Amino acid sequence: MFTRDMTFTDVERLDRIAAEAIETFVMDEETFRAFYDRTARSVWSYLARITGDRSLADDLLQESYYRFLRAERRFDSESHRRNYLFRIATNLAHDRRRRGRHAISVPVPAENEPGALIDGSDLAADTERRTDLARAMATLKPREREMLWLAYAQGSSHEEIAESLGVRKASIKILLFRARRRLAAALGGAAAFARSRA
């Protein structure tokens, strides 16, 4: 490989430019680390469930935080910052889907996964329930999966969902209603309700 010699001045100049680029991050290291610790699990779970692929979720998590750090904007509040992060994650997942690298899959939990060990009393039922949800989620449109996850797994408000997905707030109610109805039907509707009362 052909490499060019650089003078000390070149090296100093490039070092200075790199240091200046790091200063453009939206937050300093301490603030970022605290923010990451508060949000990373939610972002990873969201990515894993909307893409159905854990290793892809690992990649997209890193990329989401990188793009967040490089965002040229200021945030009014923690909620605004968090919604923006979810928006980046959502867009990255859409990009991957569009590029066709990844088709949504139905992740069937293995019994030896760490998650399968949370409730040692009923592994089989837990695995079955998760598989049912994964299959039901796979029948939904990407936007529906995202919306339902934000609303019911994360407890986001309609306003937060609108900001995270880049959808008009006025549309959320009806879109959420339709998505919820489809998922409930896919989960077995009345039978699932009866189970929930057991």
Partner 1 sequence: MKTLIECPRESDVLDALSSQRWPHRVEGELVDHVAGCEICKDVLVVAAAMRQDRDTAWQEASLPSSGQVWWRAEMRVRQEAIREASRPITVAYSVAALAAFLVIAAAAWLAWPAAHELLTAAASVKLPESLASPLTLPLLVALGAILVVAPVALYLVLSDE
Show the tokens assigned to 99: 């590029």
Chain residues 117-146 in contact with partner 1, contact rule CB under 8 A: 118, 126, 129-130, 132-133, 136
Q: Are 59 and 92 in contact (CB under 8 A)?
A: no
Q: Give me 21's structure tokens.
A: 């680029």
> What is the residue type of 144?
E
DSSP output for 104-159: ---PPPPTTSGGGGS-GGGHHHHHHHHHHHHHHHHTS-HHHHHHHIIIIIS---HH
Task: Return the range that interacts with partner 1 (CB under 8 A); candidates 33-41, 78-86, 92-100, 160-168.
Answer: 33-41
Among 48, 60, 92, 147, binds partner 1 (CB under 8 A): 48
CA distance 95 to 88: 10
The window from 29-37, 81-89, 90-98, 162-170 that contacts partner 1 (CB under 8 A) reads 29-37
Quick note: the x/- pattern for partner 1 over 59-78, rule CB under 8 A, is --xx--xx--xx--------
Question: What is the rounded distance in angstroms from the CA atom of residue 110 to the CA atom of residue 89?
Answer: 26
Cα–Cα distance for residue pair 89/141, rounded to 1 Å: 17
Does 5 bind partner 1 (CB under 8 A)? Our answer is no
Q: Is 4 one of the binding residues for partner 1 (CB under 8 A)? A: yes
Query: What secondary structure letter does DSSP report for 77?
Result: S
Least spacing, CB of residue 100 vs partner 1, in Å = 25
Q: Which residues bind partner 1 (CB under 8 A)?
A: 2-4, 6, 10, 13-14, 17-18, 20-22, 24-25, 29, 32-34, 36-37, 40-41, 44-45, 48-49, 54, 58, 61-62, 65-66, 69-70, 109, 113-115, 118, 126, 129-130, 132-133, 136, 148-149, 152-155, 173-174, 177, 180-181, 183-184, 187, 189-190, 192-193, 196-198
